Structure formats: C-alpha cells, structure tokens
Amino acid sequence: MIRSDYLIIGSGIAGLSLALKASKNGSVSLVTKKKLFDSATGKAQGGIACVTDESDSFEAHIRDTIISGAGLCNEKMVEKMVVEGPERIKELIALGVKFTKKKDSDSEFELALEGGHGKRRILHAGDITGNEIERVLIRNIEKHKNITVYEHYTAIDLILDKDRICRGVYVFDNENNNTEIFEAKITILTCGGAGKTYLYTSNPDVATGDAVAMAYRAGADIANMEFVQFHPTCLYSSDAKSFLISEAVRGEGAVLKLKDGGSFIEKYSPQKELAPRDIVARAIDNELKSRGEKFVYLDITVRSKDFLMKRFPNIYAKCLEYGIDISKDMIPVVPAAHFFCGGVVIDENGRTSIKNLYAAGETACSGVHGANRLASNSLLEGVVYADRVYKDSLQFLGKEYSEANVKPIDNIKFSVNESAVFAQKKEEEVRRLTWDYLGISRSNEKLLKAQEEADILKVEIEQYFKEVPFTADGIELRNMMFITEMIVRSAVQRKESRGLHFNTDYPFLLPDAKDTLINIR
Ligand code: SIN
C-alpha cells in the first residue's frame, strides 16, 4: 500500500503543474504508465493561446473560443480560463519555460495565428512548445522531495468506499507484474485524452482514455464524448506514425490544395484555411471521399527555406526525413483524431461528481471547448484548471487521514494461451470500428453498426479481462473499449449536427444546445 496526500495520475501539463504546487503542502504520488515525458503535452507543437498583447483583449479570446465551441461552451468556465491564463503563463515562465520572442526583442513574444483566432495570440516555443513546457516542468519536479514519481505504473480502477468516496486507485506495476493499492486524501485524474482509440491519430500511444474509462466505470458523470476533434493536417505517410503538421503552418500562409493543384477550401468557409478545425477537417474529408483520394496537399512553399527552418525546425526536419522539403514540395496531409472535448464532468474547481476525485486537462469536460475546441486552448485549460484544483484541494490538508480498508485485487488468474495476440487483434478491431463508424461524418446506420459491434467487443474484452492476468496492454484495451461505448452512447443521444459531431441524418442545429450526459449509476 502506498499512501500520500495527493495521488496524481498522468504526467502532462495538468498533472505536472499540479504536482509542483501540491508538493508545497503535502506528499504527492505521481503515477504515469510510461516515462514522465510520454504525454500528449510533450508532442504539442502549436502553442498555448493567451492574451498577452496590448492590442488583444479577454473579450476577444472569449468570443473566439465561444464561436468555435458552436453554442455549447460553458461561458463561465471559458472566462475563468481566459482571464486566469496570463498569471499561469507567468508562472511557467518563472519556472523556466522559454517562449519564442520577437526578433531583436527581449520582452515581446512572437505570437502565432491558428484557425478560429481573430488575431495572433499563441505563445510558442518554435514548433515544439509542449516539449519545452514538459521539459521544464519535469526538471522542476525532479528537485522536489515531496513528490514520488512512479513511472511504468498503469492505473487500473478507482477505489471507492461504501459511501462512494474516492480513496485512491488500483495500479498495475508494469515492470514487476504486481498490482498495488495507492491510497490518497484526494485523487486527481490528468491522463489526457483517447485519440489512440482511433485507427489514425495525432496522439501518442499513451492516449487510451484511461482516466475517463476508470471514472465511467466508477459511476462518475461523463459528458460530450461525441465531440472528437480531428486535426485537419497530419502527415500522410505509411512510416511517419502520427506526425502533426501544426495549424500554425496555415497561420503562416500555407494553403490546402487538391492533387491536381486546385483549391477547394473557399467552398466551405470564407475564413478558408483558418476556419475552425471542424470545418476544415470536414471539408478535407468530403473532398477525399467524393474524389476517392487518400490525401490532400498543404503548400507552404510561399515561405523561404530560412523562415521555415527557423519557425518550424521540427516540422521541417521531420518532413525532410521522409523526402519532403517543405520549402519546395507540397506536404501530403490527412485528418486524424486529435482531441476529446468531452470527458469527466468537472465544476469550476475541478471536482468531479465523485467525492475526493478531481480531474483536469483533456481528461475533464470543463465545458471550455463546447462542441469544438479552439486551437491551442488545451494547454491553457490544463494549466488553469490544475491551478483551480490545487486551490480547492487545500481544504483537505488539515484533515486526518482515515483508513479505508481496501482489499487487494487478485492478479493471479488462469492464463489463456495466446492472450497477447487476442489483445492486439481486439485493439485493431476497436480502432477500426471507431474510424469506420464514429469518424468525421456519421449517420444513424453507422452509429447502429458501431453499437452492435461495440456490444460484442465489450463482452469478449470483459471476459478476457476477468480471466487473464493483468498486462498494461490489456488494461488499455479495456479502456479503449469503454471509450468507444461512451462515444456511441453520446453520439446516439445527439439528434443534430453540432461542431465536431456531424450526422448526415440530422444535418441541422437544434435550437437548444445541450450537453450529452452519460453515466452507469
Ligand atoms: C497544432 O499545432 O496544430 C495543434 C495545436 C492544438 O491542437 O491546439
């Protein structure tokens, strides 16, 4: 049994920034299923949207966020994110994060533009912003005695007592094949999203929706799981696994083109390449399907090699590895699953519907993204709502810890031959199902098929999970299956097309915008 004041699951911007603050007041166990660095934050390219320029305003950032959210943003939560953003950015800078400054300036940031933003307001560190933030947070974490890091530990399920208060988490030690009990006064879920549930994704392999699945199984309220954001421009290549071509490239003038060189985006939005992401991704999807083609092109050859190497060093180098010189060649791109706007419902302090359980970042549904997240708002949401969790958590610290009498779980089960092969096969089936039936464009028939296949998979995977000793892959497979079930349940509830959810049988907006709420209580 491992006990601490705070138990934080996940090591992206929300988990790490919270751990640093929490460690000032209590002991922190920080659990992550691979290395600390393995998170979606570490891969974020574009940046972090925040009002820092005098010509910008909170009102404008709030307005852009709400327009992008297609009528479903929680305006109070958006306002908190936007208004508290600058303070959180100052904290990151004080910890050592270096955002790119304007040429010849020590103080002024070079601000990027991305889809849906009315002006340049995105702080970035070249095109490896998440990497820079993650690197600095980890360096600071390593200095803290009050934080114990558990790498290669995979959370299995939440532990709730008879009063339905969260007492911690059952965790699998990947390297020693043991299960452990982690108890804590408060548990915080910051495990990111579930892009890996889809066959094609910009996300790292760790994005298997573990926290949302655990919270769902424990009976927490979950909302808006149908709003899966597809990033319009991932590199199309059989070798370049999930490599993103940042929206900031379009912000610097890149245009979308068909194979024959013709343009198409103006048919879909007057904002063209810088329309909100749902519109651009759907436009590309539509062109690909109607033409029977596999990719479109992104063309940034209007910019010089010098500019591109300086502004997008990572993208430039990565594309070159695949034989594409982006200063001369067009980049083949396709949409891929990128971000979940839904998740575990939280209030303004990050509390979930289960006592002593908090969530922040992509795992949570705070309502700031509504039906379609505005580009580069996710790192901002993570750092702002992690801070709100921290402030709210202070009330627990004076309290005595009471024994929960948690029973260990049995990991010694009879082994089924070829279980690893089964897990791999079922994972492919889950990811193919989501891609085929729960993708950019849905229909009632597709949703029905998804439901039928998901029901069969659920029985098979739950049986497997009961019979076979835990493995990290088995735990992830089960979580991806639950995420699929949640997407289907939410998508079936929504009888309209809004933001990221497009159903050809209901191609209209209903007058009343409502969240889709699900739970299994
Ligand atoms: C990108 O760089 O295009 C991704 C930014 C985001 O998802 O907000």
439 token code pair? 């993708």
Place of tokens 């002593």: 356
Measured between alpha carbons, how far is 10 from 324 in angstroms, rounded to an integer? 35
45 lines ligand 1 (CB under 6 A): yes
How far is the centre of ligand 1, averaged over its atoms, from the C-alpha of 358 (Å)?
Answer: 25
pLDDT value of residue 417: 64
User: Could you confirm whether 88 is annotated as catalytic?
Assistant: no
Residue 45 Cα to ligand 1 midpoint, Å, equals 6
pLDDT at residue 521, as a whole number: 79
| Pocket lining: 179 vs ligand 1, CB cutoff 6 Å | no
* C-beta of 273 in contact with ligand 1 (< 6 A): no
- Rg of the chain in Å (alpha carbons): 22
Do 225 and 489 contact (CB within 8 A), yes or no? yes
- What is the reported pLDDT for 399? 76
Contact of 221 with 487, CB cutoff 8 Å: no
Assess whether the C-beta atom of 375 lies below 6 angstroms from ligand 1.
yes
Q: Which of 211, 223, 221 is nearest to 169 (CA)?
A: 211
Q: Within the chain, which residue ranges are assigned CATH 1.20.58.100?
A: 419-469+471-505
Instruction: Determine the Cα–Cα distance for residues 1 and 477; give it in Å rounded to an integer.
Output: 26
Name the burial class of residue 167, with classes exposed (0-12), middle (13-18) and buried (19+) by CB atoms within 10 angstroms of its CB: buried
For the chain, give me the number of helices (H) and strands (E)? 14, 17
Task: Compute CA 479 distance to the chain's CA centroid, rounded to the nearest angstrom.
Answer: 15
Tokens for 378, please give them.
């996710």
How far apart are alpha carbons 24 and 394 in whole angstroms? 11
pLDDT at 411: 76
Cβ atoms within 10 Å, residue 228: 28
Domain with residues 232-337, CATH architecture: Alpha-Beta Complex (3.90)
Amino acid, single-letter form, for residue 306: D
Residue labelled with tokens 């965790």: 171
Which residues have C-beta within 8 Å of that of residue 418, sequence separation ≥ 6? Answer: none
Q: How far is CA 409 from the centre of its chain?
A: 30
List of residues 6+ apart from 323 with CB closer than 8 A: none
H helices within 398-511, ranges in order?
419-437, 444-467, 472-493
The pLDDT of residue 519: 95
pLDDT score at 285:
94
Q: Ligand 1 centre from 127 Cα, in Å? A: 10
What's the angle, vertex CA 402, arms to CA 396 and CA 406, rounded to 5?
115
Q: What is the pLDDT of residue 408?
A: 85
**CATH code of the domain occupying 2-226+341-396:** 3.50.50.60
CA distances from 468 to 52, 204, 258, 430 (A): 53, 26, 49, 19
Low-confidence ranges of the chain (pLDDT < 70): 415-418
Query: Alpha helix locations (H) across 11-155?
Result: 13-22, 40-43, 58-68, 75-95, 129-141
Angle formed at CA 159 by CA 157 and CA 162, multiple of 5 degrees = 140
Angle at which helices 210-217 and 472-493 cross, to 10°: 70
Question: Residue 355 carries which DSSP code?
Answer: B
Q: Which atom of ligand 1 is nearest to the CA of 339?
A: 7
Strand, coil or helix: 81 = helix
Tokens 């982006």 appear where?
A: 326
Whose Cα sits closest to atom 8 in ligand 1? 376
Asked if residue 247 has its Cβ within 6 Å of ligand 1, the reply is: yes
Q: Which residue has the tokens 């709100």?
A: 388
Is the CB of 362 within 6 Å of ligand 1?
no
139: tokens are 């360096």
From 277, 311, 388, 489, active-site residue: 277
Domain with CATH 3.90.700.10 in the chain: 232-337
CA of 350 to the centre of ligand 1 (A): 23
- What is the CATH number that goes with domain 419-469+471-505? 1.20.58.100
Cα separation, 317 vs 320, in Å, equals 5
pLDDT tens for each residue of 84-128:
999 999 999 999 999 999 988 888 999 999 999 999 999 999 999
Q: What does pTM read for this prediction? A: 0.96
Instruction: For residue 379, give Cα distances in angstroms to 110, 436, 459.
Output: 18, 29, 36
